[in-house]
Structure formats: structure tokens, C-alpha cells
Amino acid sequence: MKKTLTTLALTSAFALLSTTASAENITVFAAASMTNVLQEINKDFEQKYPQDKVTFSFASSSVLAKQIEQDAPADVFISADTKWMDYVKEKQPSKTQNVEVLVKNDLVLIAPISSKIQAENIQSVNFSKELADSYLSVGDPDHVPAGKYAKKALEYYKVWGDVENKLARAKNVRDALSFVERNEAPLGIVYSTDAKVSADKVKIVAVFPQESYGEVVYPAATTSSKPEAKKFLDFLKTPEAKAKFEAAGFYPVQ
């Protein structure tokens, strides 16, 4: 009996060691606009793979890309545009694998929920009048993808010259959203999914047509050789993950 108990104890110990050895931390660097949806998707992932632990770092794609360039320990990178994914591929070609576009998004003009501004479309917005002595909240167009899309759209409508000196340049799109949430800016340009996250604090004034700025796409890639990195990336393409993306306002790549 004593020998049997000893054998069982050893078996349990080896099983525990085996489980611990197979457990893995997965570090995901992702665009700030993906914060809420990835946290929701991760609940399903960790329920399916309880041995794996996912840690997120959310920031502007430019900041994350430069951190990966400097060998930051990222296993997965999700960018809000192709430029910063291409940057990582160029700087870390051996690390950056399995690149593909996950989802798309829309660019919108927002205002505080209490704002009286109404517009049929972007062309009907008088930016000079609405901004007056205040500022337009955007991700910094020099670095942040949402800001670059915004600049391109405003140039398309020939109003960039009117607002260039009236920009509240945020370090990422969620900070741009927060300025409008707190009524510190009368207008802001963010993604439609950001506006949806904060629907109780901001409203969409108008949607920018895609021809004014191109497409908002989210390429993703593994940036380490961990098998778990590919496992997480593959999970983002499962039906349950796609349902979460669509519920958050993202839409699939055709």
C-alpha cells in the first residue's frame, strides 16, 4: 500500500512538472484600438488553453514596432496599418513570420455626447467654425496610424490647412478618444470601434468615406519562434474570435 501511494505521488509530481513545462507566456503587442476586443477574445483563448498565459502591451503601432526593432520580447504583433508591419519585417526579418491581415475598420469624426453638432456628411462640417479656439483631437499624424489616416482624409477634403495648427496630437488613438470623452476637444477623429466602446460619452458626427483615406487594415504576425505564438495568432481567425471582432465593430477582410 505504501509503495502504491509513493508511486501515485511520483506520478502526480511528474504530471505537474509536465504541465508546468508546457505552460507558456505569450506576449502580444497590439494597436491601442484593439484593446477591448483582444481582451474579450483572450478570455476564450485562455479558457481553451488554460496552460498558456497571454500578456498584452497596447500602444500606437509605431511605438510597438520600434520596441520590436530593439528586440522587445514580443511573440505576436498586430498593427493598425501595413506601414509599421512592413517596418518590423524590414528590421527583424528572421523574427517576423506568418503575416496576414486580420480585420478592417472605419474612420469617423466624433464629438462629445452632449454636443449639438449635426452633419449629413464630412463635407457639411465647418471645421473652422466648430473648432473656434479649440482643438481637433487626433493621433499624432507623424507617427500614429489613425492620425495618418485622418491627415489623408482632411487633405482629400481640402481642410487640412484649416486644422493643421489646431490639432491635439495624441500618442495613440485611445488618447485621442479620451480628449473628446472628457469634453476637452469638441471634435476628434478615431476609428468607429473606438467610438462604439465609448458610445455613452461620444457620438459619431460623420463617417469618412474610404476613398478619402484608403483602408484601415490590421496586419498581424508572429515575432518569435514560440509555437504558442502561432497558436494564438491562429485562434484570432477562429469563428468565435471573428464573432467577437464583428461584435466590436471590426469587419472581415473580403
Please give the annotated binding residues, written as ranges. 33, 61, 146, 173, 191
Of residues 119, 114, 164, the one with CA closest to residue 142: 164
| Beta strand pairing call for 187-191 and 136-139 | parallel
Smallest CA-to-CA distance from 56 within 78, 30, 37, 36 is with: 30
Q: Give, in order, the Cα–Cα distances in Å from 20 to each of 6, 17, 199.
A: 21, 5, 42
Q: How far is Cα 154 from Cα 152, in angstroms, rounded to an integer?
A: 6
Sheet holding 202-207, edge to edge: 167-170, 136-139, 187-191, 107-112, 202-207
Characterize 121-146 residue by residue with b for buried, 16 or more Cβ atoms within 10 angstroms of its Cβ, and e for exposed: ebeebebeebbeeebbbbbbbebbbb
Which segments are annotated as binding site for molybdate? 33, 61, 146, 173, 191
Coil, helix or strand at residue 33: helix
